[in-house]
Every structure is written in structure tokens, then in C-alpha cells.
Amino acid sequence: MRKGLLLLIFLCNVFAGIAIAADNNHLLQQQQQFTSQLEKIEAAEGEQALFLEDVLRRKNAVLRGNISNLVVQSPNAKELKILIPAQASMLQTLIVHADKQAEVLFGNTRDAKDSADKAEYQFLTQQRISSVDVYYTELATTFGWAKTLGMELDESSFKQDLQKRSEVLYDIVIYLDSRKKAFDERMKYTIEADKPDLEKQIFALAQLQRFLLSSMNNTVTLMSDFGLDVTEYKQTLFAMTGDINADVLDVNVAFGLFSEWLDSFKNWSLDNSPSLLVKLLVFLAILWVTRILSRLVANLVKKSVSHSKMDFSVLMQDFFISIVAKAVTFIGLLIALSQVGINLGPLLTGFGVAGVIIGFALQDTLSNFASGLMILIYRPFDVKDLVQVAGIQGNVSHMSLVSTTIRTLDNQTLVIPNNKIWGDVINNMTSERVRRVDMVFGIAYSDDFDFAKEIAVKVLQNHDRVLKNPELNVRVHTLNESSVDLIVRPWVRTDDYWDVYWDVTEEIKRQFDANGITIPFPQRDVHIFKTENS
């Protein structure tokens, strides 16, 4: 039984080895077919060459997947010593062929007169460059397989090709950038009818430049993997794309970029210092004139609204003065910025977009703004009025469209959102010129309340700030538990309210004491009954 099992295992291994060997032989046959296919591709032209190359590239991708699995699973397979060098040789041949085709297509793109032909050649050029990128990446992977298996492949020509390719791409990208700048400068002096065609050319150049920068980035990455110096190329990529990545952290790249920016700034300063100085002086002069003009306009508006027949409140006057002064300042700032060379169109558009975004973000503030406008329109209070709003009592110090500042009677400054004021009861204690002072005095039940009333009336009549009209009022108001309450209600000017309140309270207390009138304190009579059991 055991011998039979061992025999079965041996036979399975034999058949498995035969199957693996057959698969490996199939890979070798495929590689030989692909190598022979290269001659047909180089001999063909036009669409036929592109078709044959596309078929080879797709089939070779499948073959490379099988080779990759073989490197991982059977690194000692003898077929790898044939497959990997053959792959390297085939890819190098494809790179040479594709580079030649790309060079021809790029020349056709540059020389084409018709826009449709130029676009077609540009598309074909991009396709060809993409295929070259694929070949370089696959060849770099092939050299990686060789290193993993300890095989020696000559990488010198590959490194030279990478260096040459990066230089070519660099030159083309710089050329396209200069062309694009020339078109941008030309756009300033082109009539409106010719601008659409020029914009199409600029767009095509920018698109091709972005594509080539992507290809250059792929090449630079491969160069870095093979230990080649790529500092200059990374600086160019960063300067043109603005992509911030780990390469910027490289000391050489960062230093090179800083040196380039410093040189550019020096050249720009030397070329533009005179005009820049003049623009700066004009900018500061406009701001200075704007400041003086805003003050002058504010004074004129102040005189106008203060003498207006519409009887504006102080708050409304301050609002108009502030808005006009800020509007003049804003207009002056825009004029000053335009003199420096800043385009105001995009700036104002940005303000509009930012306004919408800020409006959604600051809905509570807009609610306060609306409440501030309602307060200004309906004028429930004015500056220096004594008010009680949102549970706070004090004098109105000043107000903006967002909040109102209240100074309390003990000299605290409180800033209250307008939304809380307008949404609550507003008690203006100084809006009227005349106010009634309400006071209550309690006397004992045993006292003569008519005599107490006479004393209170005399005190009011003798006070020089109590008005004769409207007539004062002293009456028996309430029969409380411990006292008979008299109401004392004189009329006074609003500004004299507290002086009268305190003076009358003090004098009535003094007269009541002098005439034997008692101001009782709360008291209760307690009756105790004795029961039979106690």
C-alpha cells in the first residue's frame, strides 16, 4: 500500500514536471515568434506598422506576466536565462523604432499648416510617446528581473538612452513653453475676430506640453531608480507643473529651485525697478488722496443728514456716514490696485463668489444685519437713550449693522447682537420728554392716611423739578397685610427722573418720621389656645 502511494506521488511529480517544461517551452516559442515579428514591423509602413506593433505589444504583455510569475515561482528555471535577455533585446529594438517614428511625427506636427492635420499629427505623436514610455518601463522591469536572478545584463546603453530621452523631452518642453508665452503675448495685440483661432493653438500647445511633462516625469523616475542625476529635470518639472512632492524635499532640487527663483527675481527687479517704484508711489498717492476724500465726503454727508428734513436718528446718520466713507475708500483702493497692474475683473468676480460662500457660512450674521436695518428704519431707540433690551438696561453707546453697544448704569460695556434686540421687547425709557415717577409708601393702619397724603403732596409741591402739568397724583392704593399703601406719582422731565425719585423718597421718609407717621414692617398676630389636655 505504501509503495503504491509513493509510486503515485512520483508519477504525479513526473507529469507535473513534464507540464511545466511544456509551458516553459511554449514561452520560448512565443518569444521567438515575437522576435521574428520585429522584422515585419520595421519593414511595414503606416497603419500596417502600427497594427502589427499593437498586436505585438498586447501579446507581449501576456508573455511578460507569465515570465514575472516564473521569476517568483521558479527562479532557477533555465528558460529564464533565454527569455529575459531576449525581452531586453526586443524592447531595446522597439524603443529605437518608436523613437524614430515619434521624431518623424513631431516634425510633421511642427510643420503642418492645416489645423486639422496638426491636431491629427499631435494625436499620433502622443500615442507614439505613450508606447515609448511603456517600452522603457518594461525594459526597466526586465533589468530588475535580471538583478533578482543574479544575471548580468548591460545597462549602460539603457542609461544612455534614458539620459538622451530626458534631454530631448526637456528641450521640447522648453520650446513649447516659449511658444506658448509668445502666443500669450500675441493675444494682447490680436483683434477679437482672430482670437478664437489663436486660443485653439494655445490650448493645443498647453495640452501637448502637459503630455510631454508627464512622459518626462516617467523618464526622470526611471533615471532616479538607476542612480542617474535628475536634479535639473526635477526642478523643471516642479517649476512648470507646481506639483509638490517628496522630490522638493531633496536638498539639491530645493537649492536649485531657490537659485533659479533668486536669479529670476534679480532680473525682474533690474528690469522693472523704475516702473515698479513709480507704480508704488502712484498707489500710495491714490490711497492718501482717497483717505482725504473719504473724510471730506463723510463731513459733507454728516452735514446733509443732520440738517435733513427727514429727521434722521443719530444711528441712521452714523450709518450713512460710515457707508459713504467706506464706499469711497473701497473705490479708491480698486483704482490704486488697477494702477499697479492688477486686473480688477477676476478680482471683483472673486469677491462675488466669496460673498455667496460667506453668505451661506454666516447666516446668523446676516440675520443680525437684517435686524440692524430694521432698527435703523423704525428707530425704536437712538444714541444716549436709556433702554432695556435683551434683559440689559443701560444707555445706547453706538450701533453697527451687526450689533448694538450698551453702556450699563454701572459703566459696563455690553455688545448685544441686533437679532436678539429686534426679536425681543425694546423698552426705551428716554424716548419721551416727560415721565411719571411711580413710588409706593406704606403707613400703619393706626395712622391718619389723610394726613399722610397731605404730607406727600406738600413734599411734591415743594420740589422744584416736579411738573405742575400733568397733575401729580397721591392716592390710597392697597390695604396690605401690615400696611396701608399710598401711591405717589409725580410727573417730571425724563432727565430728572432719578433725582426726583431719590429726593422725594428721602424727604417723605424724613417728614413721616417728624410727624409721627409710621412705616411698618411686616408682622403677624399669633394666637395661642390652651387645651384641656395640656
| Residue 277 included in any domain | no
| 393 contacts: CB under 8 Å, gap ≥ 6 | 386, 387, 408, 409
Query: Does residue 403 contact residue 420 with C-beta atoms inside 8 Å?
Result: no
Q: Are 15 and 82 found together in one domain?
A: yes
DSSP structure class, residue 192:
G
Determine the structural domain holding residue 56 and report its residue range.
1-263
Q: Are 402 and 378 found together in one domain?
A: yes
Q: Are 23 and 74 found together in one domain?
A: yes
| pLDDT at res. 145 | 86
Of 397, 431, 465, the residue that ends a domain is 431
Element spanning 404, H or E: strand 403-408
Q: Are 415 and 448 found together in one domain?
A: no
More confident residue, 312 or 255: 312
Q: Cell numbers of 217, please?
A: 516625469
* pTM listed for this prediction: 0.45
More confident residue, 52 or 475: 475
Task: Quote the CA–CA distance of 218 and 133 in Å, as a whole number.
Answer: 7
Q: Are 100 and 170 found together in one domain?
A: yes
Q: In which band, very low, low, confident or very high, does the pLDDT at 346 lie, cut at 50, 70 and 90? A: low
Q: Could you report the per-residue pLDDT of 486-525, keeping only the tens digit for each?
A: 999 999 998 899 899 999 999 999 999 999 898 887 766 6
Q: Are 54 and 201 found together in one domain?
A: yes
Domain of 461, CATH number, reads: 3.30.70.100
Q: Minimal CA–CA distance to 330: which of 277, 294, 375?
A: 294
Q: Are 216 and 135 found together in one domain?
A: yes
| Residue 56 included in any domain | yes
Q: Are 461 and 424 found together in one domain?
A: no
Q: Averaged over 332-357, what is the pLDDT?
A: 66
- Phi, psi of 394, deg, nearest 5: 170, 180
Task: Quote the CA–CA distance of 260 and 60 in Å, as a whole number.
Answer: 44
Asked if residue 21 has pLDDT above 60, the reply is no
| Residue 301 included in any domain | no
* DSSP-derived secondary structure for 253-285: HHHHHHHHHHHHHHHHHHHHHHHHHHHHHHHHH
Q: Are 101 and 115 found together in one domain?
A: yes
| pLDDT at res. 269 | 57
Asked if residue 7 has pLDDT above 60, the reply is no
Provide the 3-class DSSP secondary structure of residue 181: helix
Tell me what percent of the residues of the chain surpass a pLDDT of 70: 79
| pLDDT at res. 492 | 93
Domain of 368, CATH number, reads: 2.30.30.60
Q: Are 406 and 452 found together in one domain?
A: no
Q: Cell numbers of 261, please?
A: 527663483
Q: Are 125 and 210 found together in one domain?
A: yes
* DSSP-derived secondary structure for 463-522: -TTB-SSSPPEEEEEEE-SS-EEEEEE-EEEGGGHHHHHHHHHHHHHHHHHHTT---PPP
| pLDDT at res. 19 | 39
Q: Averaged over 466-484, what is the pLDDT?
A: 90
Q: Cell numbers of 420, please?
A: 436678539
